[in-house]
Structure 1
Amino acid sequence: MTKQTLAALLLIPLTTGLLAGCGAGGAAGAQSDGTPKRGGTLVLGENGQEPPCLDPHGNASSDGPVSTVPVSDSLVWFDADGTIKPWLADSWEVSGDGLTYTFKLHQGVKFHDGAVWNAEALKTNFEHMKDPATKSPLAASYIAPYKDSEVVDDYTLKVSLSSPYTPFLDILAQGYLGMISPKQIKEAPQTICEHPIGSGPFVFERWTRGQSITYRRNPDYNWGPKSAKHTGPAYLDGLEIRFLTEDATRYNALASGEVHAIDFTPPQNVEDVKANPDLGFLSVVRPGHPMAFWLNTARPPFDDVKVRQALLAAVDRESIVKGISFGQYEVAQGFVTSSTPGYAAGLAGRIAYDPAKAAKLLDEAGWTAKDKDGIRTKDGKRLTAYFPIAANFPAQRMQIAVQTQAAARKIGIDIQLQTPPEQELTDRSLKGDYDMTSGLWATNTADVLWIQYSSKNITTDERRGQNVARLSDATVDDLLEQARRTENPAEQYNQAQARLLELAPAIPFYNDPRPVSYQKKVRDLAFTPAYPSPWFYDTWLDQ
């Protein structure tokens, strides 16, 4: 799928019905006919992935953009035609060597605390993103090439990179890199997590941990992206995000009208939503890395590529994904999702379920003997892999883990699921003291491969990276570095994806969807194109 097609899909409002699967009542009840009305507070039921911090620069949770986009604007906008358009930056120039970006900034913008948006404000935000004290899991990847910046005049900033970085503007459009008040960053940075101050269409009001976050309309807002459907303040008086951890609770809250919309619609309820004439539905696949179980390639047993390939071949991913998602999820075909610009569609089908091949690979790796439990052994050691997981591990992933454990046991691999205390889990993650771990990484560029598999992103004492597979492969490194420096990196990304299929650093399970369901009184609720997350600026309530 091209970047243009991806962006066009993401910008389709939830109320159009084109992808909404509006059910028996058709699309009519979900159209944004008539003049938008001002007023009302929209209530969104979120899943249980409550952000630990509301500083967009220090937040990597799935709910991060939902919680911070209402408050903070981005420097640029990733448009429906796949191009980068102005927002807080009116224009920009990129030097021929790709090392310098000069931004001309939009004038007249104010943060919620009265601070002025200008070149110094942008510089302050870049420095905050980069600052180790921010503890940003994104800094090591998205902002790693940022070196420094120079204020040319009040509304012009020259940004210098340490190396060319083709996706720089793409990632600056994501809500994770939204702008925060420079006054807050300089005078009270410790307050950003609890009470972020941005320049966005909504002003942060209150965060009741474990329950909800509320916002009120910014009456002075008049600098939304040109791709928005209106100008001036948002239509809604307010916005409330409720954290409803249990799937059944979240769905029942929508069905009863307790909330206007729910994010991450439980897969078991999707068909019920589509059949309900009072509800609308839309789902898009999030670009980036699919939900996967990463294998620690830096220590036994998964330092042996044949053992990794064996486990990958032993797991019936299609049956597992179909079962846990009630047939709603796409099985991943590689190490980027099908909606990611740069996805190598020609490599689909290369991962095959083949237990006989898996057994043969383990024989070739020297794991030929078995103990009384049927677990393979070599030199007196059992073929064991440790998979530490959090106590609040999502139920779907736990089902996948248990079924993967069973499949591995059939070929003689003992996967031991562990639930250590939270601090121990964090410490082990940083030290690489695990054999398996799980997750995904959503982003609007195939540079996710560099984030997840470049040896530069292996966590060290000095730098926290996202290469949790701890893969170090010269070919992958070279291809991904070339891609970052090339204006049209399709070939490098294709080769990197092919190489990763050979190396098997992870078991990719499914392309993660963003399924949203809503009452049809909700109009013009849309996804942000840069990162498929609900966006409320144009939204209004027909009530």
Structure 2
Amino acid sequence: MVSSRSRVARHATILLSALLLAACAGGDPGGGEQSGTEAEPEPGGRLTVALNGDEPDNLDPHGLSATNTTVLLRPVLESLFWQAEDGTFHPWLADSWEVSDDGLVYTFALREGVTFHDGAAWDAEALLANFEHILDPETQSPLAAAYIAPYSSARVVDELTLEVTLSTPYSAFINVLSQSYLSIVSPQQIAEDPAGIREHPVGTGPFIFDHWTQGESISYRQNPDYDWAPEAAAQHEGPAYVDELEILFIPEEGVRYNALAAGDVDVIDWTPPQNVEAVEASADLDFARVDRPGHPFSIWFNTSRAPLDDVRVRQAVVAAVDRQSIVDTVSFGQWQLADGYLTSPTPDFAPNSDASITYDVERANELLDEAGWTERDAEGYRTRDGERLSLFYPTAGTIAQTQQILELAQAHLKEVGVEVVIQTVSEQEQSERSSAGDFDLSAGIWTTNTADVLYIQYNSHNITTPERRGNNSTRLRDEQIDDLTQRAREATDDATRQELYSEAQARLVELAPSLPLYTRPSLVSSSSSVHGIGFDYAYGALWFYDTWKES
């Protein structure tokens, strides 16, 4: 069930509570000890969680790619496997898997006794229906279909066994099958109401989808029949502890934090970095930091057009930007400086051992001179043949921190004579310009639990064309990267895969198709009366099966 109404009244109430709290605050904020009470869990009650304003336009896991997807869908939808904190994979809706020697055939043995919220049975036919739904053109899958691109066919062996055949070996197959983007939807809903998945997905999870008030919140209720949580993660058996779960969208950082401090919400993700120290110092609040795997937040360069088609200009931009200063300023020291083209929790991460991604203004100036940008105009910007060295960044300006990062980088680049023009456009225009390649700079982050993100973001096969939308934002075309990332995803042994991804990361440092800035962790703050908050480590996202509240 979905509806749309103003969130003004709800947020006004939260803001009023926050203002009253600030007016009454004073004295010692607390001893700073996080709650470590080993109390007996108390079933029941309502858990209220606040996220930022990154609300998806639909809730079909196979038809979206929004940042908050995992937190929103994990209460309802589950995956074949659970990824633990150490990166290993464990049974969830699948008991086990086997892989043929050539890496082309996967046989999945499914868990017995699982039912969907609508009464449909979990079996091999249900899994087959999900693969077909992902690949159905009507689903318009922007991410899940890309993640299983090597999928060729599937065969039902028996009620609880499905055999999947791939067109090529795919080393990340189990990784992506643990992600929420490939979580499992009721086959009955897929068959009878596929459009309804976008508004009220039906799954097997510990919570049942209740209501989506667009622009404000999503509510869930406990699944009383639930008894199949992943043993590798769960701290208890049976239904979830809380009766109700509500997730609010609060884009304003200060309002989100003050709502927690005032007791209007129980948990917040995306804790404002400037408030982390206050949370850690409070006896009434707890804090957790969980690093996310994938590609770090980066400024992407359009390598398909001048001036960034010249590797010397790209390398100069990398050298001219004081990344540490930017990260410290924007994150108040809460984010980690990126050390390459993968974040450190990502499998096959290879650190930037030669330290080529460094702040070096002298080197930046030398590179720009070599590239022929030797003259200066009246405003101090470099020119060549009468043309100013200028980079165009169109942005919808919806994320304040991204805007701040680009403005700081803009100032750094001006010091070496590079102009950055930041133009605010509509989200539609930004998307259209991105698809058409009408930009010089863009920015973003890609969270995923596999180094295959390097194939997704830098292999030339994934450049957007009139026929298909790809995810290679840099439009990089490099034969070595294409070869390395293709062979890495097809590798059938760990050592070969790791070596290939290591070479790919080193090659990217040379090519400088983007400027890696930081690893953005989940910064989670909660009331000290809340216990048992878990994390889905395939994404570094919140998981509420074991969560309970003291009365």
**TM alignment of 1:260-409, pairs within 5 A:** 260-345=266-351, 347=353, 349-392=355-398, 394-409=399-414
Match of 1:225 in 2: 230
Match of 2:458 among 450, 453, 457: 453
1:97 counterpart letter in structure 2: D
- How many matched pairs? 519
- Work out whether residues 77 and 184 of structure 2, in 8 Å CA contact, stay in contact via their aligned partners in 1: yes
The residue matched to 1:24 in structure 2 has which SS? Answer: coil
**TM alignment of 1:121-520, pairs within 5 A:** 121-227=126-232, 228-345=234-351, 347=353, 349-392=355-398, 394-486=399-491, 487-488=493-494, 489-520=497-528
From the superposition, tell whether residues 136 and 361 of structure 1 become closer, same or farther in structure 2 (CA, over 3 Å): same
Alpha-carbon deviation of 1:137? 2.1
- Partners of 2:239 and 2:363 lie apart in 1 by 60
From the superposition, tell whether residues 58 and 23 of structure 1 become closer, same or farther in structure 2 (CA, over 3 Å): farther
Moved more, 212-221 or 99-108: 99-108
From the superposition, tell whether residues 431 and 93 of structure 1 become closer, same or farther in structure 2 (CA, over 3 Å): same
Match of 1:16 in 2: none
From the superposition, tell whether residues 300 and 25 of structure 1 become closer, same or farther in structure 2 (CA, over 3 Å): closer
Alpha-carbon deviation of 1:348? 6.4
The residue matched to 1:357 in structure 2 has which SS? Answer: helix
- Work out whether residues 333 and 348 of structure 1, in 8 Å CA contact, stay in contact via their aligned partners in 2: no
Is residue 534 of structure 1 aligned with residue 539 of structure 2? Answer: no
- Partners of 2:64 and 2:245 lie apart in 1 by 20
- Partners of 1:469 and 1:319 lie apart in 2 by 24
From the superposition, tell whether residues 461 and 346 of structure 1 become closer, same or farther in structure 2 (CA, over 3 Å): closer
TM-score by length of 2: 0.92
Match of 2:24 in 1: none
From the superposition, tell whether residues 303 and 90 of structure 1 become closer, same or farther in structure 2 (CA, over 3 Å): same
- Partners of 2:101 and 2:480 lie apart in 1 by 27
TM-score by length of 1: 0.93
- Partners of 1:23 and 1:115 lie apart in 2 by 50
Alpha-carbon deviation of 1:461? 2.4
- Work out whether residues 141 and 457 of structure 1, in 8 Å CA contact, stay in contact via their aligned partners in 2: no
1:135 counterpart letter in structure 2: Q
Deviations 1:280-300 (A, max 9, x none): 101122111111110011111
- Partners of 1:533 and 1:438 lie apart in 2 by 22
Identity %: 54
Moved more, 68-77 or 450-459: 450-459
Match of 1:15 in 2: none
- Partners of 1:134 and 1:438 lie apart in 2 by 27
Alpha-carbon deviation of 1:25? 4.7
Alpha-carbon deviation of 1:140? 5.0
2:459 counterpart letter in structure 1: S
- Partners of 1:348 and 1:363 lie apart in 2 by 24
- Work out whether residues 140 and 463 of structure 1, in 8 Å CA contact, stay in contact via their aligned partners in 2: no
Is residue 24 of structure 1 aligned with residue 12 of structure 2? Answer: no
- Partners of 2:314 and 2:32 lie apart in 1 by 49
Alpha-carbon deviation of 1:127? 1.5
Match of 1:5 in 2: none
Deviations 1:148-177 (A, max 9, x none): 211122221111111111111111111221
Which structure 2 residue ranges, 5 or more long, are not aligned?
A: 1-28
Deviations 1:185-236 (A, max 9, x none): 1221111111111111100111111111000001111111112111111111
Match of 2:7 in 1: none
- Partners of 1:416 and 1:81 lie apart in 2 by 43
Superposed CA RMSD = 1.5
Which structure 1 residue ranges, 5 or more long, are not aligned?
A: 1-21
- Work out whether residues 336 and 519 of structure 2, in 8 Å CA contact, stay in contact via their aligned partners in 1: yes
Deviations 1:252-271 (A, max 9, x none): 01111111110011000000
1:162 counterpart letter in structure 2: S
Alpha-carbon deviation of 1:23? 7.5
From the superposition, tell whether residues 204 and 348 of structure 1 become closer, same or farther in structure 2 (CA, over 3 Å): farther
Is residue 78 of structure 1 aligned with residue 86 of structure 2? Answer: no
- Work out whether residues 30 and 521 of structure 1, in 8 Å CA contact, stay in contact via their aligned partners in 2: no
Alpha-carbon deviation of 1:91? 1.8
Alpha-carbon deviation of 1:24? 2.4
1:253 counterpart letter in structure 2: A
The residue matched to 2:147 in structure 1 has which SS? Answer: coil
- Partners of 1:82 and 1:303 lie apart in 2 by 37
Match of 2:12 in 1: none
The residue matched to 2:195 in structure 1 has which SS? Answer: helix
Match of 2:10 in 1: none
Alpha-carbon deviation of 1:456? 1.4
- Partners of 2:153 and 2:63 lie apart in 1 by 19
